[in-house]
Amino acid sequence: MLRIVKTDLGYLEGIPCGDPRITEFRGVPYAAPPVGQLRWRPPQPAEPWEGILRADRYAPMEVQAKIGVDEKDFYTKELNPTAAEYEQSEDCLYFNMWSPARSTGDKFPIYVWFHGGGLQAGYSYEMEFNGEHMAREGVIVVSVGYRINVFGWMAHPELTAEDPDGCHGNYCLQDILFCCEWLKKNARAFGGDPDRITLGGQSGSAFGAQALGTSPLAKGLITGIIMQSGGGLRSLGYGTGCTPLKKAEEAGVELLQILGVNSIAEAREVPADELYKAYQKMGRRFDVWSPRIDGKMLLEDSTQAYINGNFNDIPYLFGSTSGEGGNVFGGKAPETVEELKAIAEPIFGARTDEFLSLCRTDSKENILRTYRGPAFNARTLGARGFAMTQAEQGKTGYCYIFNHDIPGDDNAGPYHGSDLWFVFNNLDKCWRPFEGKHYDLARQACKYWTNFIKTGDPNGMDISGKPLPEWRPVKENDMFVMEFTDKPGQEEGELDPAARFRIEYELGRV
């Protein structure tokens, strides 16, 4: 196996995984530490090293609120049971890689994983997206650490003036592209294909990946995008898209006031933990700590870019889980038509009755099913809206909904992030009492994902030698949605008429 590789920075030595046919490289530096005078600057090349760097331990996670402390917290038990043990640091520009390569002559496609956390939290080695099992299917998996929250999204008039032609405030997106560029340059050293780099993300990072799909700086570098539970037509249901630069700069001015400093130069000297505390005082405002329309990285709001056809012509795979975000508007789930109407009326106004006529409201069960369906689920609605725009423009898109059974005494259902266990085929790392049908589904889901990473098309053969159930791309006359229940198959019926009405209503088409 290819355990020692020669990169442009020096030699790296990886370690064998549980499956010794897979090599893991942990904590690989792809850029210089963004600290001191490099805080809030574009990523810079890492310093070369002498000898062989043993890549056998993960780097510290990004600076954020301490996670994994509250054992009663759902996501502590589910995803972060040991996260409290890990260090945090502003020095976070490292990646982890899982590779099946035996020699530099191999040419495996590369999957760059952009971890979730609302672009404000998370880390690159959460156990649900460990890349070992996915790498078994013939892809190189790379999970990236990148700047988040105030470190990744800071904008300020001084920063704009400091680098007039730069990507203002989009340090997070610059980090991801810088890592992709480094991987492209060094792909062959790892047995990878420099011309096949797919970017994937979940939740906030799916939104980030979606934004990069519209960036002229990503053209020709990223050859496919996977968006799980966060990409799509972002403004549908969320009410937020990419941040105008002026609004982002105003937030930066406010931050310096909270810090009690008078310049960016002074702010660069503030310790990272104090800077994060100031950010916390402002609140986790996704509308300002998120991708910026800076005129270089992003030319317009990403939702509008997709509607206008201003995006890179690459294949997309996207979708959501059925149990996340069903309560878009706040309040308790409705049990009567009157309660459902009260939730919908602030959105549809005089056209509420027209919208409700398209909903299933003939029973308490159907009212609840409607409320949890795509018309009221922001992430699903955004994905279906994205499917519509892809189909209308004749682009390649594959849409899915995860509606699988999640066992356990907490009745969690297909919660936000539950699909990660399946597409990375990591059920063995989860505490839940999964059974045979779950393992079958995970194997198949992982196959769909890796097929897409290899070719831009999720279809192909299962390990059994039988073809996977067909997953058709969305078309204007065939809005196909792959539904993952006990097994993959076409979602029943066409696009929900209430969801279609809402998408077209919010886009100003009806």
For the chain, domains (ranges, CATH) are 10-314 (3.40.50.1820), 372-506 (no CATH)
Task: Residue 407: count other Cβ atoms within 10 Å of its Cβ.
Answer: 13
Report DSSP letters for 306-345, one per residue. Answer: HHHT-S----EEEEEETTSS---S-SSPP-SHHHHHHHHH
Average pLDDT by consecutive 10-residue portion of the chain (510 residues)?
97 97 98 98 98 98 94 92 95 98 97 96 97 98 98 97 92 98 98 98 95 97 96 72 93 97 98 97 86 96 92 96 63 86 92 95 90 86 92 95 94 93 98 97 98 98 92 93 94 81 88
Report pLDDT for 493: 65
Please state, in angstroms and rounded to a whole number, the distance separating the CA atoms of residues 216 and 227.
19
Please state, in angstroms and rounded to a whole number, the distance separating the CA atoms of residues 212 and 216.
8
| Phi, psi for residue 222 in degrees, rounded to 5 | -95, 125
Q: Which residues contact 428 (CB under 8 A, 6 or more apart)?
A: none
Radius of gyration (C-alpha) of the chain in whole angstroms: 22
Say if residues 230 and 322 touch (Cβ distance below 8 Å).
Answer: no
Total residues found in the chain within this entry: 510
Structure tokens at 172: 């997070």
* H or E element, residue 76: helix 74-78
Say if residues 340 and 361 touch (Cβ distance below 8 Å).
Answer: yes
| Phi, psi for residue 333 in degrees, rounded to 5 | -65, 140
Report pLDDT for 492: 74
Please state, in angstroms and rounded to a whole number, the distance separating the CA atoms of residues 437 and 445.
12
Report pLDDT for 237: 66
Measuring CA to CA, which residue among 232, 227, 235, 280 is closest to residue 255?
280
User: CB burial class (10 A; 0-12, 13-18, 19+) of residue 265?
Assistant: exposed
Identify residue 483 by its one-letter amino acid code.
E
Three-state secondary structure of 204-269: HHHHHHHHHCCCHHHCCCCCEEEEECCCCCCHHHHCCCCEEHHHHHHHHHHHHHHHCCCCHHHHCC
pTM: 0.96
Identify residue 424 by its one-letter amino acid code.
F
Report pLDDT for 305: 93
Say if residues 27 and 94 touch (Cβ distance below 8 Å).
Answer: yes
Q: How many distinct helices (H) and strands (E) make up the chain? A: 18, 16
Catalytic positions are 203
Report DSSP letters for 270-320, one per residue. Answer: S-HHHHHHHHHHH---TTTSS-EE-SSS-SS-HHHHHHHT-S----EEEEE
Please state, in angstroms and rounded to a whole number, the distance separating the CA atoms of residues 405 and 235.
29
